[in-house]
Amino acid sequence: MSLLTVGQGLRKNASAGMRAVADADVNSARQKIAMDKADRAAKMNTIGTAGGIGGMVGASKLAAAGTAAAGTAAAGTAAAGTAAATTAATTATTAATTAAATTAGTAAGVGTMAGMAAIAAPVAIALGIGYLFSEIF
């Protein structure tokens, strides 16, 4: 074997080794990118789940507030109808209708802001907790 043949063999071995190192480096970079994407997706999943839980709590509070408002409106209508029934039938109908309309109008006016407040607070709290969990864990 000549010295040139030995040199060419060493050069081929060195090139193959460099190619293997470059391939390993590329694979490592791809795995790091994939792990970063998976980590970001897990954080967003945690925050989304927490927001959903907060929305469910807020929706149940909104439903409870709506049930209470409906009960108040029905009680007001019944009381107005009973008080007016003692005077006259037409006066009772008018009073009951007016009381129901007033109560419904008041509930509708307050209902929008109360509904947003009933949902917004639990969602905000849950999103904050979800963010903390995603950063800590």
75: how many CB neighbours lie within 10 A of its CB? 11
- Domain ranges in the chain are 41-136
Question: pLDDT under 50 in the chain at which residues?
Answer: 80-102, 104-109
How high is the pLDDT of residue 87? 43
Q: What is the per-residue pLDDT across 13-51, written as a single tens digit (0 to 9) for each? A: 999 999 999 999 999 999 999 999 999 999 999 999 998
Quote the pTM value.
0.54
DSSP string, 41-96: HHHHHHHHHHHHHHHHHHHHHHHHHHHHHHHHHHHHHHHHHHHHHTT-HHHHHHHH
Q: Map tokens 């790091």 to a residue.
A: 32
